[in-house]
Amino acid sequence: MESSTSSTSPRPASPTPAPPSLETLVSNLVASKRSLSSVEQVWRANEIVESTKTNLEASVITSSRTSFLRSGIATQLRTLTLVYAHNSAVEREGAHEYGEVVKSLDAADRRLKDTMARLKTTMVENDLRPESDQEKSLLDFVDEGSVEQVLLTLQDSIGTADSALQELVETNRGFHDDLKRVERLIDSPEVRHNHSLADRLPQGSDLPTESVSPIPNILQDMEGRSRDMADNLESLVKHFDLCLMAIRHTEGGGDAAIRLTADLPDGAGMEEDVAGAPEPIGDKERQDMLDVIAQDADQVEEVVMEICDHVTAMESQLEIVTAHVTQLKEEESSVTAAFNVLEDIGCRLQAFVAQSQVFVMRWDDEKTKINERMDELSHLEDFYGGYLGAYDHLLVEIGRRQFMEQQMEKVLQDATRKLDVLHEEDRTRREAFKSDYGDFLPVDIWPGLTDPPLRFETRLRDGMARAPDLSKSIIQRAIRRVEGGAMM
């Protein structure tokens, strides 16, 4: 838009156009006056620039404070993560050892219960017990109370160890949750925020989107737009002054000038007093002024629209700035919350570290007790297993004794027959001796001369008992079990 009445290049000669009517000049002045309302947009642009400057200062302070806190928290978080890793290793090792102990205990318990079940189902042969005695199993001859006592002690130790492990697990889980909470709070959303900013920037904007803070570039762009708006407003004011001057130098236009300038917008000042008489100008100067007015009148609406476009763009940019500052404040709030959580963790850190040490001591103590009880359980298992095997050997021993008794009886029977033969031979010879020499020998020459032959008796000594009369099938089964156990 032209801003002066002078021309620097010669114009070709042409017929002088008819001067515009007063109505035309008044219409131009009205349109120009209406365009001066753009001063409000210019003021708004200045407010936006000042607000952006304030937001820039706030964002710098907030970002610096947030970055400082985040850096310190990240350092502390790495240290705390190492502490958590140590406690987790203690937990994993303890859980593994605990699991192995429980599996070993379960296996030993199953073996012992299986052995005791076999003792319970193995009935003592009736021939081994007095006739008045009731039927009994091998289990009736052992004290089950010792087994129950060992198992109860083991259950107590296992329960204590499990409680200690669960306490460590819960403590580690709580500590891990706190660390994850801190990580979530300090997890900066800047990447997502930058993407959202890029989506909201005006089409065709030259503003870089990779910067963490868009405010400096936006402020620079705003200031450029504000200067353009001020220049455009200045052009509109000069155009209005020319329109006003043209009316005042037109016959009958003085009253219209006074009336139309009565309610001008604040800030749209005029260069001359409309109430006084205008300074006279020449026809050539007046015509040049009218030519400029006619040329600029077509551009007034375009300039007004340009000012509106600038302020609209600046309003959008202010939304981006405000959103960014809000995001920074939210980040500061999250990081501050993370710092508060970190302070709480610090207050509990000593107890957390001590928890793993307490678990190790308690587990070592209970593990020693468990191992001792496991040894007792193993000894009981060996004893009851040996007891079960010894009973089979007892049956085999009874079978052996039966066989030996049978062999002894055969020897006795054979000896009895031989003694009977010798006795009869001795009796016959004694009778022959008596017949041949008895009449010649006096009776009192030897008191044993007339004694009968010796008679020997073979019988079981008093107080001795025979082996029980077990069937061969019972003894054979016992032999098979013994031989089967020896081959295993």
297 with 30: CB under 8 angstroms? no
| DSSP H/E element including 120 | helix 39-121
Q: Residue 232: pLDDT above 80? A: no
Q: Residue 188: pLDDT above 80? A: no
Closest CA to 352 of 468, 98, 486, 178: 178
What 3-state DSSP class applies to 137? Answer: strand
Model confidence, pTM: 0.59
Q: In b/e form, how buried is each residue of 62-97, taking b as 16+ CB within 10 angstroms?
A: bbeebeebbeebeebbeebeebbeebbebbeebeee
The pLDDT, as a whole number, for residue 365 is 93
| DSSP H/E element including 108 | helix 39-121
54 with 215: CB under 8 angstroms? no
The pLDDT, as a whole number, for residue 207 is 41
The pLDDT, as a whole number, for residue 360 is 92
- How many Cα atoms are found within 13 Å in the side-chain-facing hemisphere of 223? 8
Q: pLDDT tier at 257 (50, 70, 90 boundaries)?
A: low
**CB burial class (10 A; 0-12, 13-18, 19+) of residue 143?**
exposed
- Listing DSSP states for 22-72 in one string gives HHHHHHHHHHHHHHGGGHHHHHHHHHHHHHHHHHHHHHHHHHHHHHHHHHH
55 with 322: CB under 8 angstroms? yes
- What sign does the CA torsion over 200, 206, 209, 215 have? negative
DSSP conformation class of 279: P
Compute the average pLDDT of residues 212-230.
Answer: 86
48 with 314: CB under 8 angstroms? yes
Closest CA to 2 of 238, 265, 203, 282: 238
Q: Residue 47: pLDDT above 50? A: yes
Q: Residue 99: pLDDT above 70? A: yes
38 with 234: CB under 8 angstroms? no
296 with 2: CB under 8 angstroms? yes
The pLDDT, as a whole number, for residue 124 is 87
Q: pLDDT tier at 287 (50, 70, 90 boundaries)?
A: low
Residues with Cβ within 8 Å of 217's Cβ and at least 6 positions away in sequence, in order, are: 207, 208, 211
- The model's pLDDT over 4-36, given as tens digits with 9 standing for 90+, comes to 433 334 444 445 555 665 566 666 566 566 666
Q: pLDDT tier at 162 (50, 70, 90 boundaries)?
A: very high
Question: Identity (one letter) of the amino acid at 58?
Answer: A
Q: pLDDT tier at 1 (50, 70, 90 boundaries)?
A: low
DSSP conformation class of 126: G
Long-range contacts of 83-87 (CB under 8 A, 24+ apart): 83/349, 83/352, 83/353, 84/172, 84/175, 84/176, 84/179, 86/356, 87/168, 87/171, 87/172, 87/175, 87/352, 87/353, 87/355, 87/356
Number of H helices, E strands in the chain: 9, 0
49 with 130: CB under 8 angstroms? no
Angle at CA of residue 13, ends 12 and 17, nearest 5°? 115
- What sign does the CA torsion over 433, 439, 440, 445 have? positive
What 3-state DSSP class applies to 433? Answer: helix
Compute the average pLDDT of residues 64-92.
Answer: 91
The pLDDT, as a whole number, for residue 246 is 63
CA distance 399 to 471: 9
